[in-house]
Amino acid sequence: MAGDSTADIKAHRLPEDEVDANFRDVHPPLARSEALIAADRCYFCYDAPCTTACPTGIDIPAFIQQIRSDNLKGSARTILQENIMGGMCARVCPTEVLCEEACVRNTHEDQPVRIGLLQRYATDPIFDQGTQLFSRKPDTGKKIAVVGGGPAGLSCAHRLAMLGNNVTVFNESDKLGGLNEYGIAAYKSVDNFAQREVDYILSIGGTTVKNGLALGTDFTLADLRRDYDAVFLGFGLGGVNELRLENDQIEGVEDAVAYIADLRQASNKAKLPVGRRVVVIGGGMTAIDIAVQSKRLGADEVTIAYRRGQKNMNASSYEQELAQTGGVVIRHWLAPKRLLTDGNRANGLEFEYTTMDDAGKLSATGETCEIAADVIFKAIGQNVAWSTLGDAADILELESNRIRVNEARKTSLDDVWAGGDCIFGGEDLTVSAVQDGKLAAIDIDRQLNNH
């Protein structure tokens, strides 16, 4: 058995001022002089690979050139007309594997243009001042229901409203924003930015919000198809993958997504209980986020255990480095085998070492080790909770348990579109969800209004 039988979990491991400092903006915004220097490094490529690498197709050289000209409003318009959540994406987008990785300056001898920080420099004043850059077209009289208030749903709602349609957003949570509000590491989005961005998106008009209402509980997909001209589904992933170990529901085994949501909503983060020894199972962004935040709350030992190698982790190399430089230990080639308990709660894990052959097949070696833990966080992915969504699974065409859509994000039903994490082939990125919502809105408007 690993460790003792008494879990060391408590709040106020660090003084409040130290916790507050630990959760300040991880990337402070650029000053004007810094932004101009960064913008001057851009080569303004004609066939810009950075723009091609952006899922929303932002004209990156154009917005950087506008920054150089001190035309911040024009720069923000260039960004937001393609990605209405360009402010949040400037904070959370993995630019190191998208636009900045594609930057022609990204070589062994040079560094890429700081596109993410420049995007934030251009957009932050718009949200700070509430400057509305867009206006609605004349009312079309069409009604569209949007299920889900996350990036996909809000992007779809904004574009539909801008095109003159009337939108109703049905949102299960108390606040709009989805993972931007509840799932992003707190040090990546400070000062209530997620809600300020939501307010800006809604300020164009044409959208009614109904919070606290869930598909499958308060209404069905058939209800929406009856009452609206079109439906967009952006309800994300409501289920959490399990460890599939004996007693994995025991006390001491926690859902990382739920804890991150609590942390995001906490007015005093120092009051959150945190274990002295924390083990995180997973290799994606959620695993990194919960590990780093546990450390910043005062955990002594935080270990991420991942069953494959470093190159197989879904978290980017930048995020992995952020965790490791912050005191998190990442151990590879370890698969959970057995929960260690004191009878009442988990106090550690037995792992089995793994190996991978040339064909990419993972197998166990038979060799084991134990890691003691006061808290074990599951961060091994999420799934669509179809059992809670009423008739949706019965009337939609699915693939690998997610919604099948075409290039315009239309489902197998002629009046239903979908986007975000709930669609097959979707990427677990805010920027990709925004693009899904935008493309769906354009197609919905085209079909309903004969454009």
Which CATH superfamily hosts domain 143-238+384-449?
FAD/NAD(P)-binding domain (3.50.50.60)
Domain boundaries, the chain: 9-24+241-382, 32-129, 143-238+384-449
If pLDDT is split at 50, 70 and 90, which confidence band does 247 have? confident
Mean pLDDT of 276-300: 97
9-24+241-382 against 143-238+384-449: fold identical: yes
For the chain, the three-class secondary structure string (H helix, E strand, C coil) is CCCCCCCCEECCCCCHHHHHHHCCCCCCCCCHHHHHHHHHCCCCCCCCHHHHHCCCCCCHHHHHHHHHCCCHHHHHHHHHCCCCCHHHHHHHCCHHHCHHHHCCCCCCCCCCCCHHHHHHHHHHHHHHHCCCCCCCCCCCCCEEEEECCCHHHHHHHHHHHHCCCEEEEEECCCCCCCHHHHCCCCCCCCCCHHHHHHHHHHCCCCEEEEECCCECCCECHHHHHHHCCEEEECCCCCEECCCCCCCCCCECEEEHHHHHHHHHHCCCHHHCCEECEEEEECCCHHHHHHHHHHHHHCCCEEEEECCCCHHHCCCCHHHHHHHHHCCCEEECCEEEEEEEECCCEEEEEEEEEEEECCCCCEEEEEEEEEEECCEEEECCCEECCHHHCCCHHHHCCEECCEECCCCCCECCCCCEEECHHHECCCCCCHHHHHHHHHHHHHHHHHHHHCC
Q: Is the pLDDT assigned to residue 212 strictly greater than 70?
A: yes
CATH numeric code, 9-24+241-382: 3.50.50.60
> Across all residues in the chain, what is the average pLDDT?
95
Which CATH superfamily hosts domain 32-129?
Alpha-helical ferredoxin (1.10.1060.10)
pLDDT digits (tens, 9 = 90+) for 308-358: 999 999 999 999 999 999 999 999 999 999 999 988 899 999 999 999 998
Q: Is the pLDDT assigned to residue 297 strictly greater than 50?
A: yes
If pLDDT is split at 50, 70 and 90, which confidence band does 1 have? very low
pLDDT digits (tens, 9 = 90+) for 39-48: 999 999 999 9
